[in-house]
Amino acid sequence: MRIQQHCKHCNKELQGRTDKKYCDLHCKSAYQYQLAKEQPERFYNIVDNQLKLNRKILKEFNKGGKVTVRAERITEMGFNANFFTHFWKNQKGEVYLFVYEYGFMKLKEGAHEKYVLVLWQDYMNKPKI
């Protein structure tokens, strides 16, 4: 006796093995993809995607090693300063947040908010005494 009468994806009548659920691999794959799409995005994926986007934006704007850019330019591209991988504090006490090797620090100059963009440097690894 057949357990499943019709393909779970396309609803065609099944032929062959009695425990068959899909008519072919395409239907199996399409069904699994459809199920995954209906599930809410996992927290890990949200964080990972935002980190990748932040890194891409910082890389695009920081061609010279140290650059200042208006905050609205990068935020309208999808940059979110709440997602970073680590931080570094300089001798002046300023904290740079990093997305992998690309760092940023928020500044306020008058009415404008800006970001200072930097690249990770070897001296940043040295412990402070």
So where are the chain's domains? 1-39, 43-125
**pLDDT digit of tens for each residue in the chain (129 aa)?**
677 789 999 999 998 888 899 999 999 999 999 998 888 878 998 999 999 999 999 999 998 889 999 999 999 999 999 999 999 999 999 999 999 999 999 999 888 999 999 999 988 886 655
Residue 81, helix vs strand vs coil:
coil
pLDDT, position 18: 87
pLDDT of residue 12: 94
Q: Report helix, strand or coil for 116.
A: strand
